[in-house]
Each structure stands twice: as structure tokens, then as C-alpha cells.
Chain A
Amino acid sequence: MNVDLIFKIAAVGILVAVLNLLLSRSGREEQALMTTIAGLIVVLVVIVQEISELFELIKGLFGF
């Protein structure tokens, strides 16, 4: 569990927002949507690993 995770996710969010804005301003709405979805998937993969780490921690801690 590290603090970097929070800043990583926030950075991905802001980056995706900027890219989304750029692409939709230049009239490429579908690519903007794909960018949003790609960013979402990247963040999801990171979060899922973190969730499994928390599960392992709780399993060890409360004796499951």
C-alpha cells in the first residue's frame, strides 16, 4: 500500500480530462470516448490489484 497510488490515479484522471477536451474540441468525439474508457480501464487494473492486497491484509489480520 503506497501513497503514490493516489497521485497516480489523480494524474491519470487529469491527463484523460485534458486529452478528452483536446479531442472533442478538434471534433473527434469517438476518440475522446475511447480515451476516457482506456483511462478508466488503466485505473481499474491498478485498483483491482490494490483491492486484492487489502483482502490479503484483512485475511491475515482477522484470521480467515
Chain B
Amino acid sequence: MMDVLIKTVVLGLVGAVLCLVVKKANPEIALLLALGVALVLTAYGLGIVESVTEFIRLIGSASGLSAAILSPVLKTVGIGILTRLASDICKDAGQAAIASSVELAGTASALYVALPLFRTVFEMIEGLLL
């Protein structure tokens, strides 16, 4: 774990410096370089998250929660990570309008993914009332 953390920190700093070097000559490639660094570091981070999600799934199955309840939560986390990354890259490129529409799409799909949960709650309340 510490190994990955050190690697991430060093790579992030090196990537930032390289971005500054490239930015002077051509800002487009600097932006793509920033995106590349972000992708590699996210992949490293997700390597650790993998064991955490496995543990969450284990707890879920041990406590008798059905997968239909747990999976929207995990999916929303994935959507959040991707949306945040894309919108921040757009903001770095100076396109705040694109960034906010990416965020809107992410919010909408997170809501869509969470719909089964809302439906379950609704059915539960309905069952209590009847």
C-alpha cells in the first residue's frame, strides 16, 4: 500500500513538472499529458480500491443484503470518479461549460443508477401503509 502511495506521489509531482515544461511550447499536449498522468494515477488508486470493494461486498453478503441494494452504491462511486476526472480536465482546458454539462450527465446517470433503491424504499413504505 505504502509502495503505491509513494509511487503515486512521485509520479504526480514529476507529471506536474513535465506539464509545466511542455506547456510553454504547446499547451494542447500539456493538457493531454495531464490527462495521461491522471489516468495512470487513477488506475493505481483503483488497484487499492479493489480490495476495499471486495470487503464491502463480503460485508454485504454476510449481513444478508441483496446485491441489488449494494450495487447501485458502488456504481455511483464509479460514476462519480469518472465524472469528476473528466470535468476537472475540461476545467483545466478552460472550458467550464463543457465541464458543467459533463457533471450534469454524471449526476443524471447516478440518479438513474440509484432508481432501483428509491423504488425499493417506495415499495417498503407502500407495504407499511397497506
Give A contacts to B, CB under 8 Å. Answer: 1-3, 5-7, 9-10, 12-14, 16-17, 20-21, 36, 39-40, 43-44, 46-47, 50-51, 53-55, 57-59, 61-64
B26→A47 contact, CB < 8 A = no
Say what secondary structure dominates the interface of chain B: helix
- Residues of B in contact (CB 8 Å), total 33
Q: A7-B18, A61-B53 are in contact. List 13 more A-B contacts (CB 8 A).
A: A1-B39, A3-B11, A5-B40, A9-B32, A9-B33, A13-B26, A13-B33, A14-B21, A39-B26, A57-B46, A61-B49, A63-B74, A64-B78
A9→B29 contact, CB < 8 A = yes
Question: Measured between alpha carbons, how far is A6 from B25 in the docked complex, in Å?
Answer: 17
**What residue in chain A is nearest B57 (Cβ atoms)?**
A63
Q: Is B108 an interface position by the 8 A CB rule? A: no
Question: Measured between alpha carbons, how far is A9 from B25 in the docked complex, in Å?
Answer: 14
Most chain A beta-carbon contacts within 10 A, residue among B24, B26, B29: B29
B42→A54 contact, CB < 8 A = yes
Of the candidates B24, B28, B71, B78, the one whose C-beta lies within 8 Å of that of A58 is: B78
**What residue in chain A is nearest B43 (Cβ atoms)?**
A1
Say what secondary structure dominates the interface of chain A: helix
Of the candidates B22, B46, B50, the one whose C-beta lies within 8 Å of that of A13 is: B22
Question: Measured between alpha carbons, how far is A9 from B26 in the docked complex, in Å?
Answer: 12
Of the candidates A39, A57, A63, the one whose C-beta lies within 8 Å of that of B75 is: A63
